[in-house]
Every structure is written in C-alpha cells, then in structure tokens.
Amino acid sequence: MFGYVRAVTPVLAPEEARRYEAVYCGLCRTLGERYGKTAQLILNYDFVFLAILLARPETGGTFPDCPCPVHPWRKKTCWLGSPALDAAADATVILTWWKLQDALRDGKLAQRMGSRAAALPLRGHYRAAAARWPAFDETVRSCLEELHQLERDRVPSLDRPADTFARILQAAAVETDLAARTRGVQQILYHVGRWIYLADAWDDLAEDQRTGNYNPLLARFGDQAAASKESLRETMRVSLGLANTAFSLLDWGEWEPLLGHILGTGLPAVEEAVFTGQWKQRKRPFHHHQGSAPAAVPTNKEKETYE
C-alpha cells in the first residue's frame, strides 16, 4: 500500500477522530509488542484502515491510555486487545518487507542502499509474521512475481497489473465464521487495491515518462497517456463505487461512520489531490477548490491534512 488510504481528519466528528487516533496508537503498540520497537517505525495509516475493516461489528478490545513511544511524557488512548490489530500488524510487516525487496530488485542505487539498510532489522520480524500468516505471505510473494513479469513484458493493459495488485490486498481479508462477511471484506479490499494501483500509476506518470520505467498508462496509451485522465478517473470511481456497495451490505456496528467516511470522503479527496498534482505535497496542508472536487469531497476552503 502506498499511503493513499486516509481519513480527512478535520471534517471527522470529534468522537470519530478520537477513535481513528486510538486505532493508530493501538496498532503502533501492537506492532511494538508483537515485533519490537523497530517495527513501530513502519506504522502506516493504510493499515489503520485495514485494522478497522477487519474489526468485528461489536467493538471488542479496550481503550486504555498508553504511553506514547514518540512522546513519552504524554499518554494516548489506544484500542487494544482485538485480533484485527494482530492481523493488521502482521500484514504491515509482511507487505513492508516485500515492498523493500521490490526496491532492492528494481530501484536505483540510492533506493537499493536505503532499502537494504531498512530490511536488515526487519528480517527477523518478517520471518515471524510469515510464520503466523503463511497463506498471506505466499499470496504477496506470488502476486508480486506476477506483477514483475507483467512489468518486464511491458504489458499494455491497466486491468491486468491492477488486478494482480488488488489480489494482494484481497488476501488480507481474514476468514470469519460468516461467509458473506468474508466475501464483503474481500470485495472492499480488492477494489480499494485496484484503486490504489491506478492512483499510483497516475501519480508516477511524469517521473516514469522521464525515466522510462514501466507504467501501465504509458504502456497502454503511449504519448497520449496524459489525455487518459478522465477515463482513468472513471474506472477508479467504478472501483470505489463497488467497494462502497460491498460496504453498504454489511453491518459494521460502531465502526460504520469511520469506515464510511474513509471510503466515501477520504479516498475521493485523495484522488482529487492526486489528479490535481497536490498529492506529491501530501506532507503539507492543502485546499480543495470550489468546483474541482467530486461531490463526496468537502469543498470548503479549510485546510485538510491527511493524517
């Protein structure tokens, strides 16, 4: 995952914003307890979404105040004690490991050196996570190999590489005792994964055009890739629509407002930022302008920081 799955925290209701932060802090603490302090450095908001998605409709777990490893003089409310956090922590380690291996394989010299340095302390954690969830690890490995082959062949297709990446995220759906729920979570993760891949393809378009790296948009449309913007956004919106349809069919209990916000407001807002060139500056606050955002995105002029 690439950091695209975010809530728009300034427009969240205060209770939902606190809940979102509690999941973030709980996942941080779970990573530390399960894999050690170095694993906390790979914490990512994408996996906060995964933890919420895998949670049972009933809240489960507890919300104690915990010391923060970054700000030890402060305590943060943490969501703890849920199997969803364990699964999200395992997925964080496995996917981060394979992302580093991908950079070691295909990155530039500086990227390879940085990835090698990051991978060394993660090696033991990865082995532990893979032992806990071998089926997911194998799916990630095989799908990434398939994706590498598509890239080597410079396949002129958007759907084939996007489908391969989407199947990686789909595999993070933990089996439940309700088949309909398992299928629903799989559908959400699949279509969010497809959306992520296509968003990243557009985000990297100019750089890939300059460097000659594989990009499905360049392979499919060549010099006319930039002109494919609206058709690309249309297929991305179809994926988000299907994810939201699957979401609407299930009971999410206390998590429903937060998940609905991320799918219905957060992802469209990130999409708008990607296609207006603002996502490259995602570490800075930015505005949505009147008339430019999809209907689901807030269009007032207050700053929206994706944290």
- Digit-coded pLDDT (tens) for 215-225: 999 999 999 99
Q: Of the candidates 83, 85, 81, 104, which has an alpha carbon nearest to the alpha carbon of residue 93? A: 85
- pLDDT of 204 higher than 70: yes
Token pair in block for residue 256 = 């429903």
Average pLDDT of the residues of the chain: 86
Segment 209-216 mean pLDDT:
93
> According to the CATH classification, is domain 9-281 in 3.90.1660.10?
no
Asked whether residue 32 carries a pLDDT value surpassing 80, the answer given is yes
Nearest to 169 by CA among 40, 291, 287, 4: 4
| pTM, rounded to two decimals | 0.88
pLDDT band at residue 17 using 50, 70 and 90 as cut-offs: very high
In this predicted structure, the answer to whether residue 146 has a pLDDT above a threshold of 90 is yes
Cα(228)–Cα(219) distance, rounded to whole angstroms? 12
DSSP classification of residue 290: T
Which residue blocks in the chain are alpha helix, DSSP H? 14-35, 45-54, 83-106, 109-132, 134-152, 159-170, 179-203, 205-211, 216-221, 229-248, 256-261, 267-275
Residue 289: band (very low, low, confident or very high) from pLDDT cuts 50, 70, 90: very low
The Cα 28–Cα 26 span in angstroms is 5
Give me the phi and psi of 245, to 5 degrees please: -65, -45
Task: Assess whether pLDDT exceeds 70 at residue 203.
Answer: yes
Angle value at C-alpha 279, between 17 and 29, nearest 5 degrees: 40
